[in-house]
Structure 1
Amino acid sequence: MSGPATPPTPAGQPVAGVVVADDTPEGREQAYTDFVEDNLRRNYIAHFAHGMLGMTGFRLIFAPTFVPAYLYMLTGSSVFVGLGQALIQLGAIASPVMGAAHIEHRRLVLPAAMTIGVLMRFQLLGLAVAGWFLTGSVLVAATFFFLLLFGFFLGSQRVAFQVVLSKVIPIRMRGRLQAWRNIVGGAIAAALSWWAGAHLIENNAFGNGYATTFMVAFVLTSLGLAALWMFMREPESPTVKVQMGVMARIREFPQLLVDRDYRNFLIAQMLATAGRIVIPFCIIYAGRKMEVDGAAIGLFSLAFLGADTLTNLIWGTLGDRYGFRLTFILTVATWIVSLVVMIFADSPWHFLIAFFGLGAAASGYMMSSTTLVLEFGKRDDIPMRLALSTTVETSMATVGPILGGVIASVAGLLPVFIISLLSLVAALGVLVSAVREPRHLKV
């Protein structure tokens, strides 16, 4: 079925469609490719703006400093810190599959993706409002509730927006696009994180510095979403999957696992995710070896996010040139080294180096895992591959922080570091020995 020429749309809405002169499978594919190339500059800029502003805000949430420190301030418990981090992942377990089933039969994905993106950002607004107007156990409960919903919509958003990216940005440019948007966004986020720690949190701005930080994240991520909606042009997919229910799609997961390299990639991803269970507790570990106030939190956040800024172009360029399997391998190796430095750190400079390494590894992991999965198998299976990978990742990431919090409370933080290191070493072994670069396997 061909995609007709799209009539003019109202100002402020994306233009979409593909004009097909030759109504054959080959003709539709060629028209799709031509549309992508004709609108590449515009879509590149739109995705750059969206990613840059979105990552600026979301990194304030995902940095292993602000949210863990906030939860520890509210509860005084490592278990609750782990629980809060686990709730984000718990929310994202089922939603990737639901999101994929919601979009994989659609020739235009952006409208559904926008709805998911708006709902996700509302949870940041909820965190801010709760922090300003609630207190005590009600504030803790509300914070956990919004973190759970944030994770739920995060799972669907990762699928939806990666599908949109795969439609309009050719594989030869995905790494550098993500690198440049993360460099600019990371530079802003690094400076913003230092400023938020040193001024908003240290001075308890507007009665709750953390809530004010969440509001800043809400505004920035919303601006990025608006930029994508206003400027992106999406082609209609020449082929799509037949619409099916969520359970019917889940029953088809074994078919995706026939691909040996993708199957082993999932195993490596699961092990790497298990290796991240210690990340929320790094700021607590630092606090037990040195004084950690708002300024220190801002400085460590600057190191973490600054590393993202400085290394993204390296990850993106390496991925575009040699494939994202290599960047995934280097990412896991960087994680291992950073955690070893963290364990033996005994001065602020050591912790700065460790957080810098964690930031570099986090940016490399995000780029490698989400981009690499786009390259396995068939194009029409991209939504479900993304969903399966995200579900596997978030399932492990849900259990990990809770387990880490319990172990930290009973046996201390060092055993959590050891478990993380063993998992990361296992992930590195699987990546090196059992996963081949997918772009070299195309026939």
Structure 2
Amino acid sequence: MSNSETEYQQRVARAYKWNFCASVVDGGVFSFTMSLLSPVVVLPYYVKLLSGSELLSGALYMLYALGRSLPQVVAANVIKHRSRRKPFMIWMALLERVGLAAILLSTLLIRGTDVSWSLAVFFSGYALLTFSLGFMSPAWLDFLAKAIYKRRGTFFGVLNAIGGMLSILGGIAFTVLTRSYAFPLHFTAAFGLGLAVSLISLAALAAYREVPSPFLAPRTSLGEHMRSLPALLREDRNFRNFIFSRAVIGVADVGVPFYAIYATQRVAGGAPEVAVFNLTLMASQAISTLLWGYLGDRRGYRLIYQIATATGFATAVLALVASDLGGYLLVFTLLGATLGGLVIADSNLVLEISPRAQTPTYIGMMNAVLGPVTGLAPMLGGALATAWGYPTVFAVAMGAQAAGWIGMSILVREPRDTQRPGVALVH
């Protein structure tokens, strides 16, 4: 090992505890902010109240899915040859706060029946927020891969636990606000609180102690990188089958933005009930991820996909047959468990499938394929809801979950049973 590499590792080690704490504060506090702008419960309900349109509610989730996934391929190519990630992250974080401010402004522009300016400002701000998050994600994860060089599992466990608890606190805050203020003031208060708290997260991000990396990838054009991807899919059959099966599961997102809307219609509820649904969803997702992670470590993450598609199927079935508040609380409990399972499985199975040297490429490819599917599915859901009603939407979701379960069970091999040379289960 050269002297420069030794010095680099020593500097990273000295900053380890500081970066551990700063990253937990950053990620945990930002989870509180995002709980007040949930793309599954809060924001679809806000857009529905504002516009009366199922299509626009579906477009909201499309923006979330596309914004969080598609920019990652471009961002990885932008940062890979740079020695520092923090300046790029700071710029993206500032753009995120501008997006949050625009979302808040949209609530202040509501004037009677003319909501065109409010909708335009809201969707512009939300697009800026989600795409900034997507651009920032590879840089943030790469920073953590270097800065949190040991006990990374413990780190993510602490981060998710604190983030989950703060998300629940955010859900409680939203519940209190909906019971204290009428529309649109409760959204103004919620979005304003989210923006204010996000400044704490920004301060924690600014406090990161980054050691410039001596390990730089060569600069390549985006075109060269993109042209190399089709060959990867042709050569790795298991990865290709995984991408296909996961994309089929993604079609089930046709129903995700509409469970809260349908539930409020069935139980004659309003904003207070939506707040309770949101809190139930976040609590279920936070708790279930601990169980999913424990099970995945011991039995493999393909099993998590199989169980999550089963709970997703049950979610859609129960949404159709439930008739009271208790039934729909169970719907959002199952939905939270399903989403939690997919988060854990998405973060881990691709790592076990991919060769160690190609892990970033595999992750980027997965997100590039899944982004359009999960982004367009809610738009399809909005069109189906408008034409044939919500039961049709949930029937399509059931079919996608069932087909995804078959794909994961038959087409995708468990990587731990078929480990190839150059593939490491621990990255």
Q: TM-score, normalised by structure 1?
A: 0.84
- Secondary structure (helix, strand or coil) at the match of 2:83 reads coil
Partner of 2:157: 179
Shift of 1:329: 3.2
1:191–1:291 distance in 2 versus 1, CA, 3 Å: farther
Q: Is the 8 A contact 1:82 1:401 kept in 2?
A: yes
Shift of 1:103: 1.4
- CA offsets 1:123-159 (integer angstroms, 9 cap, x no match): 1121002212454211111112222222322322333
Q: Is the 8 A contact 1:69 1:283 kept in 2?
A: yes
**Could you tell me how far apart the structure 1 residues matched to 2:223 and 2:232 are?**
15
Partner of 1:213: 190
Q: Is the 8 A contact 1:100 1:160 kept in 2?
A: yes
Aligned counterpart for 2:140 among listed residues 161, 164, 187: 161
- CA offsets 1:387-422 (integer angstroms, 9 cap, x no match): 322222220122211111111011011111111111
**Which moved further from structure 2: 399-408 or 138-147?**
138-147
**Could you tell me how far apart the structure 2 residues matched to 1:36 and 1:318 are?**
32
Shift of 1:215: 2.5
**Could you tell me how far apart the structure 1 residues matched to 2:38 and 2:266 are?**
23
**Could you tell me how far apart the structure 1 residues matched to 2:367 and 2:242 are?**
12
**Could you tell me how far apart the structure 2 residues matched to 1:115 and 1:374 are?**
28
Aligned counterpart for 1:364 among listed residues 341, 350, 369: 341
Q: Is the 8 A contact 2:55 2:382 kept in 1?
A: yes
Shift of 1:37: 6.0
Partner of 1:137: 116
Q: Is the 8 A contact 1:120 1:150 kept in 2?
A: yes
Shift of 1:319: 3.6
**Could you tell me how far apart the structure 2 residues matched to 1:379 and 1:105 are?**
19
Aligned length: 416
Q: Is the 8 A contact 1:63 1:301 kept in 2?
A: no
1:408–1:247 distance in 2 versus 1, CA, 3 Å: same
Aligned counterpart for 1:288 among listed residues 253, 265, 271: 265
Partner of 1:193: 171
Q: Is the 8 A contact 2:251 2:377 kept in 1?
A: yes
1:148–1:229 distance in 2 versus 1, CA, 3 Å: same
1:223–1:208 distance in 2 versus 1, CA, 3 Å: same
**Could you tell me how far apart the structure 2 residues matched to 1:271 and 1:335 are?**
13
Q: What are the ranges of 5 or more consecutive residues in structure 2 without an aligned counterpart?
A: none
Is 1:53 matched up with 2:34?
Answer: no
- CA offsets 1:342-373 (integer angstroms, 9 cap, x no match): 22111101100110111122222223213433
Q: Is the 8 A contact 2:39 2:64 kept in 1?
A: no
Q: One-letter code of the match for 2:2?
A: A
**Could you tell me how far apart the structure 2 residues matched to 1:37 and 1:428 are?**
43
Partner of 1:248: 224
Q: One-letter code of the match for 1:57?
A: T
| Alignment root-mean-square deviation, CA | 2.8
Q: Is the 8 A contact 1:336 1:424 kept in 2?
A: yes
Q: Is the 8 A contact 1:290 1:348 kept in 2?
A: yes
- Secondary structure (helix, strand or coil) at the match of 1:55 reads helix
Partner of 1:420: 397
- Secondary structure (helix, strand or coil) at the match of 1:241 reads coil
Is 1:270 matched up with 2:253?
Answer: no
1:237–1:413 distance in 2 versus 1, CA, 3 Å: farther
**Could you tell me how far apart the structure 2 residues matched to 1:335 and 1:44 are?**
34
**Could you tell me how far apart the structure 1 residues matched to 2:37 and 2:82 are?**
31
1:324–1:200 distance in 2 versus 1, CA, 3 Å: same
**Which moved further from structure 2: 342-351 or 213-222?**
213-222
1:367–1:45 distance in 2 versus 1, CA, 3 Å: farther
Q: One-letter code of the match for 1:384?
A: T
Is 1:71 matched up with 2:50?
Answer: no
- CA offsets 1:42-63 (integer angstroms, 9 cap, x no match): 4333332222112222233235
**Could you tell me how far apart the structure 1 residues matched to 2:10 and 2:400 are?**
44
- Secondary structure (helix, strand or coil) at the match of 2:37 reads helix
Q: What are the ranges of 5 or more consecutive residues in structure 1 without an aligned counterpart?
A: 1-19
